[in-house]
């Protein structure tokens, strides 16, 4: 499961980078805490991080259950697809919210594959 | 722990369904990204997903620690109670925010029972 | 790993306490659901909980991977540093958002140490 662990930590690092971007954007836009709206650029950067958080809550469990019940290396590859999807999502969204689609879809398909594989693997083990 | 794994994946699927509802509601309400306010209906659907995310961050660890240190099948049943509580929460909240209480309470009680049981189980093992 | 489990549950309890504070603050400020803005005091309490959620999504995986691949007791101590950092963060933020810095930094440094240690530990095991 070391591959799964490493992908988990890489995605965590990617997410931490997004949170640093939010802090930086807060400074540049002059949107002082606790405000989270009022500047289009800041709101885009903030939503990139928030939406990634919304995905991670199921991505991490799905990654580990797929890795354990199905196949660790394939799980790690799907995890890398998620990581790349999130880079495309962030770049697209910050350039223009209408261009956040492709990266989002790559990430959600990777998560769905992990969920489904984990479900089949855990279900088969129970039978 | 297969029962715990399956409940984890069912709750993850429930949550993914909520995120799809947010996307759908975004389209219907005309609230374009990165905005998250401006339409009461959209805000309700969005808060249902956000509040579920806020719960899942402790529900998942509590579910696994209860399952491991206390009892997997009882943990899975408490997890199903959480899942049902969240359905009631979503239905209540979208109909009228004042009706989100009962589903919320069911979910939080299930999470509290999992937390407490996990705490007792891990503490006893340490002694 | 019982120490890691107990720290996980303590931090989960701390976070649940923050969510109770949000509900209480909602009542006191008259900000009714689904609204999340409109009262400075409520927004501070809400952001404390939200920011903690944003940290927990990587703190929990990092804590467990450090505990497993590196050292459980040192991991648990770093976890306690995170827990204390979040108390300082909450107290500072609610008093004055400009005073949220020190607690934030303590928490993020603990998380970074856990992430890095987990990465080194999992990487070494793979070699």
Q: Subunits that touch chain C (at least 3 Cβ pairs < 8 angstroms)?
A: A, B
How confident is the model over C46-102, as pLDDT tens digits? 999 999 999 999 999 999 999 999 999 999 999 999 999 999 999 999 999 999 999
N-terminal to C-terminal alpha carbon distance within chain A? 24
A chain contacts of residue C111, beta-carbon cutoff 8 Å: 16
- Which residue on chain C is closest to B59 by alpha carbon? C12
Nearest CA in chain C to A55: C57
- Closest alpha carbon to B4 in A2, A42, C70, A126: A126
To the nearest whole angstrom, how far is the Cα of B19 from the nearest Cα of chain C?
16
Contact C35 B43 (CB under 8 A): yes
pLDDT over 90 at A127, yes or no? no
Residue ranges in chain B modelled with pLDDT below 70: none
Mutation target for C interface from B54, B96, B112: give the one with most C CBs within 10 A: B54
Measure C79 CA to nearest chain A CA, in Å.
16
Share the mean pLDDT of chain A. 96
Q: What is the DSSP string of A5-27?
A: HHHHHHHHHHHHHHHHHHHHHHH
CA distances from A15 to A20, A45, A53, B114 (A): 9, 12, 8, 28
Q: Which of B122, B115, A110, A43 is nearest to C9 (CA)?
A: B115
pLDDT at C127 over 90: no
On the question of pLDDT at C11 being above 90, the answer is yes
Residue B99's pLDDT is: 94
Could you tell me which chain B residue has the CA closest to the CA of C35? B43
Q: Is residue A40 pLDDT above 90, yes or no?
A: yes
User: Which among B57, B112, B126 is the nearest to C57, CB-wise?
Assistant: B57
pLDDT number for residue B36: 93
| CA distances (Å), origin C42, targets C39, C92, C119 | 5, 15, 38
Q: Residue C63: CB partners within 8 Å, gap ≥ 6?
A: C4, C7, C8, C75, C78, C79, C82, C114
Measured between CA atoms, how close is A18 to chain C, in angstroms?
11
Smallest CA–CA distance from B54 into chain C, residue: C53
pTM of this prediction? 0.96
């Amino acid at each position: 499961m070391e591959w799964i662990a490493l992908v988990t930590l890489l995605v965590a690092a990617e997410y931490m980078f997004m949170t640093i971007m939010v802090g930086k954007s807060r400074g540049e836009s002059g949107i002082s805490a606790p405000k989270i709206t009022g500047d289009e650029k800041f709101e885009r950067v903030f939503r990139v991080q928030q939406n990634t958080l919304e995905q991670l809550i199921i991505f991490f469990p799905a990654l580990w259950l797929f890795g354990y019940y199905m196949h660790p290396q394939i799980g790690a590859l799907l995890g890398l697809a998620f990581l790349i999807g999130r880079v495309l999502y962030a770049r697209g969204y910050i350039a223009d919210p209408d261009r956040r689609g492709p990266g989002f879809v790559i990430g959600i398909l990777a998560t769905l594959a992990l969920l489904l594989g984990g479900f089949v693997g855990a279900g088969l083990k129970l039978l």
